[in-house]
């Protein structure tokens, strides 16, 4: 049965181009489109599509407000289309936090050619989104942000005794991963072991994502820069459009941020990070593969496990998309499969060993 898609975008050209693109693939059926959420809401309630393709910046009601309302009414897997403006990127991140499963970045110019060139990626994203588990986002509490700020202030005490960090934690995630990574980090103390994260995300989104996490978590979180030292209490997020590797010098771990072709169609790639840790960390590393479509990270995780690293995969029930963990398990790269809520405790247990 074809995946039923509903398109909400204020650009007539965008709606027309997307409709033409998807109708050229027998796996998809465009069941309707609308220029704004006010016209879309009753149609969506009537036709009940498998997935929404939603613009963010629209007159009348923006896509973010509509998404939050739709998730309260009836959660539907939603893919966000957003231009790479500062406001568009920030709202797209808000949309991911509100329950959207993926973001497709669209340019301001050359839209038709861009969509034609990106047909395969867009179709794969929609296909995976249709099979994803749409969930209402948990309501954030002011207490959580206040606690994170207080913990950071206490951790800044130069007299505090912080043990050396010699066991790096690596996390790879994709669809649904922005929320999954946040859930893990929010459960960790300020002196948790250093963490390097690859989250599939377009360029210009990752810096804002890191800032968002930094405000919410007790650990320090920032976008990785070449030469950053991975140390206790620090989370480094791979920058969009670049690869992140680890290297070791003088008994310490450092970030290597580099250019290069996409790996497994992704840049940053989870496999690039995981493979870099095989030689420099080996048995001292802990690797987590979380929710996401495709197989990025599966080969690197298998190589890490062969070298003696501890490897964990998120279980299907707590994943938005069980693609990446499933592939890692199939390749024999996983020591244990855990629900998302147990990942933070597993990190701390590994650190105490």
pLDDT tens digits along 155-171: 444 334 445 557 999 99
Quote the CA–CA distance of 13 and 35 in Å, as a whole number: 11
CATH class label, 147-352:
alpha beta
Alpha-carbon span 169 to 290, nearest angstrom:
13
264-297 pLDDT tens trace? 999 999 999 999 999 999 999 999 999 998 999 9
pLDDT of the residue at 173: 98
Contact partners, residue 122, CB within 8 Å, separation at least 6? 21, 104, 115
Q: Confidence class of residue 54 from pLDDT cuts 50, 70 and 90?
A: very high
Q: Where in the chain is the domain with CATH 3.40.50.180?
A: 147-352
Residue 105 corresponds to which tokens in the numbers above?
Answer: 């970045």
3-state secondary structure 326-347: HHHHHCCCCCEEECHHHHHHHH
Question: Catalytic site residue 89?
Answer: no
| 72-76, 107-111, 139-143, 247-251: the lowest-pLDDT one | 139-143
CATH 3.40.50.2300 residue ranges for the chain: 3-130
Q: Which of 330, 326, 286 is nearest to 304 (CA)?
A: 286
pLDDT digits (tens, 9 = 90+) for 99-140: 899 888 776 666 667 666 677 778 888 988 888 877 665 555
Q: What are 208's two structure tokens? A: 């804002």
pLDDT of res. 169: 98
The runs of H, that is alpha helices, within the chain are 12-23, 37-47, 63-73, 86-98, 111-117, 119-130, 142-155, 177-186, 206-216, 270-280, 298-306, 323-330, 343-352
Q: Which of 137-146, 206-215, 292-301 has the lowest mean pLDDT?
A: 137-146
Has residue 16 got a pLDDT over 80? yes
Tokens (6 digits) for 334: 């996983």
Q: 245 falls in which pLDDT band (50, 70, 90)? A: very high
Instruction: Give 247: exposed, middle or buried? Use CB within 10 Å, 0-12, 13-18, 19+.
Output: middle
Q: Please identify which of the residues 33, 89, 128, 174 carries the catalytic annotation.
A: 174
Residue 353, pLDDT score? 77
> What is the rounded CA–CA span in Å between residue 289 and residue 163?
26
- Give me the catalytic one of 62, 82, 200, 214: 200
Number of neighbouring beta carbons within 10 Å of residue 282: 15
pLDDT interval class at 260 (50, 70, 90) = very high
Catalytic residue status for 296: yes
Q: Which of 85-89, 192-196, 271-275 has the lowest mean pLDDT?
A: 85-89
Please determine, for residue 146, whether its predicted confidence score (pLDDT) is greater than 50.
no
Instruction: In whole angstroms, give the CA distance from residue 81 to residue 64.
Output: 11
Mean pLDDT of 182-190: 98
In CATH terms, the superfamily for domain 3-130 is Response regulator (3.40.50.2300)
CB 54 within 8 A of CB 63: yes
Query: Looking at residues 234-255, what average pLDDT do you find?
Result: 96
What is the pLDDT of the chain when averaged over all its residues?
88
């Amino acid at each position: 049965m074809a995946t039923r898609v509903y398109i909400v975008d204020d650009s007539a050209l965008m709606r027309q181009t997307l409709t033409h693109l998807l109708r050229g693939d027998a796996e998809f059926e465009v069941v309707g489109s609308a220029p704004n959420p006010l016209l879309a809401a009753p149609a969506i309630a009537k036709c009940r599509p498998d997935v929404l393709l939603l613009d963010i910046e629209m007159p009348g009601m923006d896509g973010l407000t509509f998404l939050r309302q739709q998730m309260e009414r009836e959660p539907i897997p939603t893919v966000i289309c957003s231009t790479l403006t500062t406001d568009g990127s920030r709202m797209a991140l808000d949309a991911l936090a509100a329950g959207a499963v993926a973001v497709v970045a669209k340019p301001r110019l050359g839209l038709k050619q861009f969509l034609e060139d990106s047909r395969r990626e867009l179709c794969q994203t929609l296909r995976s989104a249709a099979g994803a588990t749409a969930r209402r986002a948990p309501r954030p509490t002011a207490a959580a942000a206040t606690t994170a700020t207080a913990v950071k202030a206490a951790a800044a005490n130069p007299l505090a005794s912080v043990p050396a960090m010699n066991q790096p934690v690596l996390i790879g995630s994709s669809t649904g991963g922005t929320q999954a990574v946040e859930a893990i980090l929010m459960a960790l103390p300020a002196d948790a072991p250093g963490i390097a994260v690859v989250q599939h995300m377009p360029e210009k989104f990752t810096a804002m994502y890191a800032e968002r996490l930094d405000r919410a978590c007790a650990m320090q979180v920032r976008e990785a820069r070449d030469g950053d030292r991975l140390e206790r209490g620090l989370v480094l997020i791979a920058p969009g459009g670049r690869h992140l590797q680890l290297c070791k010098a003088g008994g310490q771990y450092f970030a290597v941020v580099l250019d290069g072709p996409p790996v497994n169609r992704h840049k940053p790639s989870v496999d690039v990070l995981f493979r870099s840790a095989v030689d420099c960390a080996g048995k001292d590393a802990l690797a987590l593969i979380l929710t996401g479509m495709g197989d990025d990270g599966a080969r690197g995780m298998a190589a890490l496990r062969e070298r003696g690293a501890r490897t964990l995969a998120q279980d299907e029930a707590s994943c938005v998309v069980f693609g990446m963990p499933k592939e890692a398990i199939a390749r024999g790269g996983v020591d244990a499969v855990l629900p998302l809520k147990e990942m933070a405790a597993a990190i701390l247990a590994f650190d105490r060993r």
